[in-house]
Structure 1
Amino acid sequence: MTRDHVSINRDIWNADAANWVEVGERLWGLETPEWGRWGIPDEGLNLLPPDMTGIEAIELGCGTGYVSGWMTRRGARVTALDVSAEQLATARRLAADHGADITFIEGNADETGLPDSAFDFAISEYGASIWCPPATWLREARRLLRPGGQMVFLGNHPLSLICAPIDGSPCDLTLHRPYRGMCGADWTEVDYEPTGICFNLTISSWMALFTDIGFDVTGYQELYAPDEAFGTRAAVPASWARRYPVEQVWHLKKPE
């Protein structure tokens, strides 16, 4: 894919920002984090350190900022970056409503302009993790981390992409795309709920990229919809997501 993913995705998220306000308000109000499109409870996942007192943290692609809000409650000093001015407007309002002191920056996670080795912890949940080319944003994330710093990101499982019909309709039990050579998909002109340009890799390609960039893998999780889940979310039916992993979480570390 050679199209300008930054401007395309920025325009889409600016136009769609109003539709995420209610979701953002609900997630900001949670006492305990929930992750991904099916709201998986944080217990057992441990995407965030339980105590983040004194930690300098950055969220790459913050959307409405709820993950940043959760980190501030755990004691972190948080910087949150997003490409969408409209999403950031919601994030700033909600941070003020909740008394959260967060530094919000409008910018591209591929090239933040922030100083080297400025953070202890970085996270992306459906932000840079799917909307930016992995080789670019992960190199930038590593540059931002101090030696020993941790990186956690959650995004679509590659299986959910190869089972997604070309017209964008909900996942089914057919392999619609090749797994070999996977790099992502352009959803801007599909028939069913068009969105933006997303990125993904095969598991072996993710592993090779981490090695090339200089990240150690400290954990990997595959997420399913809960047994009680129903309906369809982001073109993935609950009946599919209960049987096959819909999301993946990578836990990485920059060597000392």
Structure 2
Amino acid sequence: MRGGGPRATLPLDDNRRPDMDRDHVRINRDVWNADAENWVAAGERLWAADAPVWGNWGAPEAGLGLLRADLSGKDAIELGCGTGYVSGWMARRGARVTGIDVSPDQLATARRLAREHGADITLIEGNAEATGLPDAAFDFAISEYGAAIWCRPEVWLREAWRLLRPGGKLVFLGNHPLVLVCSPASGAPCDRTLHRPYRTLWGVDWSVVEIDPSGVCFNLPMSGWMRLFADIGFVVEEYQEIYIPEGETGTQSSIPAAWGQDFPAEQVWHLGKPG
């Protein structure tokens, strides 16, 4: 999160998953309310984009295929919608769209941009781990970051399963687990050293260091994701690893371009709920 003074660093051996009585939902809501104004310009740019681009480095939709070209007649939900541009892209493709986000300040931007673009989207303030929406209400669910990294996987994925109709699809994009394994506990950009165990990876509590974006972020080893999908009942239809394009320079969201050209910076899971 931008701004504020330095915080205490987190020792490597203390990268423990927060206890369930630690309110990661409140922590992450406070983070995004405080940082919402810094994402307005990006939201405006992405709402106006001719074609979707994904992740921190703008990977083109043409190379990933996260959205069907025609979503006419489909009910779609974005879990952790932020400024709502993914919801806008789905509405443009003909879907009946619902977006849910825990941050009222982010939703204020989403509602303004939906009005400006003439998009008829239902935007709800709420927790993607427990939406309160009806069972089997949607054909398609998606999360670009949002629930994909700021919600507990074993909770929000079961909620997504509940929301989907038989034959429904879920797509989500977030940090690759290698990013967290290679990220120093101080919050410095990721590097080529292993800073935390992969075997017991659950995510990182970045709320104790100065980093952008902050909050309590969740992730799993590959085997952990696969076990969780199988336990819930999801079928993995495709898995993608996103590298930073050659020629890019600099650092975004604590990932140096040179690092992300050798190691995957982001991952995309395409899941299906059997009919």
Same fold (TM over 0.5): yes
Deviations 1:121-153 (A, max 9, x none): 000001000000000000000000000000000
Map of 1:210 onto structure 2: 229
CA contact (8 A) 1:79 1:104 kept: yes
Label 1:44 to 1:192 Cα distance change in 2 as closer, same or farther (>3 A).
Answer: closer
Per the alignment, in what secondary structure is the counterpart of residue 78 of structure 2? strand
Unaligned runs of 5+ in 1: none
Distance, in Å, in 2 between the alignment partners of 1:229 and 1:124 is 25
Cα distance in 2 for partners of 1:198, 1:52 equals: 31
| Aligned twin of 1:224 | 243
1:157 maps to: 176
Partner of 1:56: 75
Partner-residue secondary structure (3-state), 1:10: helix
2:187 to 168, 173, 178: 168
Distance 1:61 1:193, change over 3 A: closer
Question: Percent identity, aligned pairs only?
Answer: 67
Secondary structure of the residue aligned to 1:109 is coil
- For 2:246 and 2:95, locate their aligned partners in 1 and report how far apart those are by CA, in whole Å: 33
Q: Which amino acid aligns with 1:128?
A: A
Cα gap change, 1:17 to 1:192, in 2 (>3 Å): closer
What is the Cα-based RMSD across aligned positions, in Å?
0.8
Provide the secondary structure at the position in 2 that maps to 1:188. helix
Contact 1:188 1:194 (8 Å CA) reproduced: no
Pairing of 1:232-247 with structure 2 (within 5 A):
232-247=251-266
Alignment of 1:14-163 (within 5 A): 14-163=33-182
How many residues of Structure 1 are paired with residues of Structure 2 in the alignment? 256
Matched to 1:50, the amino acid is A
Whole-angstrom distance in 1 between the partners of 2:115 and 2:211: 36
Higher relative contact order (CA 8 A, sep 6+): 2
Moved more, 224-233 or 17-26: 224-233
Which ranges of structure 2 fall in alignment gaps of 5 or more residues? 1-17
Within 1, Cα distance between the matches of 2:247 and 2:233?
40
Native 8 Å contact 2:213 2:253 kept in 1:
no
Runs (4+) of structure 1 exceeding 6 A deviation are none
Instruction: Report how far residue 55 of structure 1 moved.
Output: 0.5
**Amino acid aligned to 1:62:** C
Question: 1:194 Cα deviation (Å)?
Answer: 6.5
